Amino acid sequence: MRVWLLCLAALACCAPVRADTPPAPAMLLAETYVAGIDVSRYLVSEKYDGVRAQWDGTALRFRGGSTVPAPAWFTAHFPAVPLDGELWLGHGQFDALSGIVRKQVAVDAEWRAVRYLVFELPDAPGNFAARHAQLRALIGAAGVPWLVPVEQTTVASHAELMRRLDAVVRTGGEGLMLHRADAPYVTGRSDALLKLKPWLDAEAVVVGHVPGQGKYAGMTGALQMAMPDGKRFRLGSGLTDALRRAPPPVGTRVTYRYLNLTKNGVPRHPRYLRVREDF
């Protein structure tokens, strides 16, 4: 534990600090859905596998606060009001999307395929149902093809919600988001917004690399991970050959999925999803 903390401290000290990067925008973060909740109180949408970005009325910013290096034409006709949403390329295209939006010199041809899927009007008055109606009107008036309001629908029961989840997952989606229809705009972790997936996910920090054996000889067999509470586990499932040859370095935050926790509090059947990037 002490070694891990020292590694993180060293990385934090060595990380470059950019004085021109504004503070991270305040955002609403989801809790996890549990059965028994009255789902009729919520509006339900697909959970998209994209890069979170917030438009402040003049600039598009990543979750970490830095400006998205999008081409000028991409945001030229966005409404002059704050928007919150996801940059999205398509199901299963997160890595390709990440490569596109991180380039400091934007490639127009790549950005033509990117959409900004909007699900919230930050700081707007009224409940979420009213804000969603206003959002649809604003985006409709803007007439920007790649600026898209996320579809919100109602469900009557847990059984209907599960059928909706199954349909989304079968088409390549990650899961569902449930936003309480009567909720005012809030930020931080809140049960006003819930996420529902067929699996759980979490984040951990890479603290080492386990050498591969057999067909993975000469590569990384698994990542040694440390959870926020200090517990450690190995993460090998889901690693591509490219990642095994050039694994995420020590100190990298990684998102993984799992079925549940063992009696020892570590994830059961963890699978690598992606490097967590706040940009």
Tokens of 260: 């549940």
Q: What is the pLDDT of residue 200?
A: 84
Boundaries of every domain in the chain: 28-196, 200-275
- Beta strands 28-32 and 188-196 are parallel
Residue type, 15: A
Q: Which CATH code for domain 200-275? A: 2.40.50.140
Q: Closest Cα partner for 203 from 178, 221, 241, 229?
A: 229
CA distance 26 to 84: 10
The CATH architecture to which 28-196 belongs is 2-Layer Sandwich (3.30)
pTM above 0.85, yes or no: no
How far is residue 169 from each of residues 19, 81, 164, 196, 272, measured CA to CA in Å? 42, 33, 9, 11, 18
Domains 28-196 and 200-275 fall in the same CATH topology: no
Residue 208, classed as helix, strand or coil, is strand
Q: Closest Cα partner for 63 from 51, 72, 79?
A: 51
Residue type, 31: E
Contact yes or no for 269/237 (Cβ under 8 A): yes
Q: What is the pLDDT of residue 21?
A: 61
Tokens of 200: 């759980």
Q: What is the pLDDT of residue 162?
A: 96
Successive 10-residue mean pLDDT values, the chain, 279 residues: 38 41 85 94 96 96 94 97 97 92 95 98 96 97 98 97 95 95 96 92 95 95 96 96 95 92 92 83
Residue 273, classed as helix, strand or coil, is strand
CB atoms within 10 A of CB 5: 11
Contact yes or no for 171/91 (Cβ under 8 A): yes
Q: What is the pLDDT of residue 239?
A: 95
Q: What is the pLDDT of residue 20?
A: 57
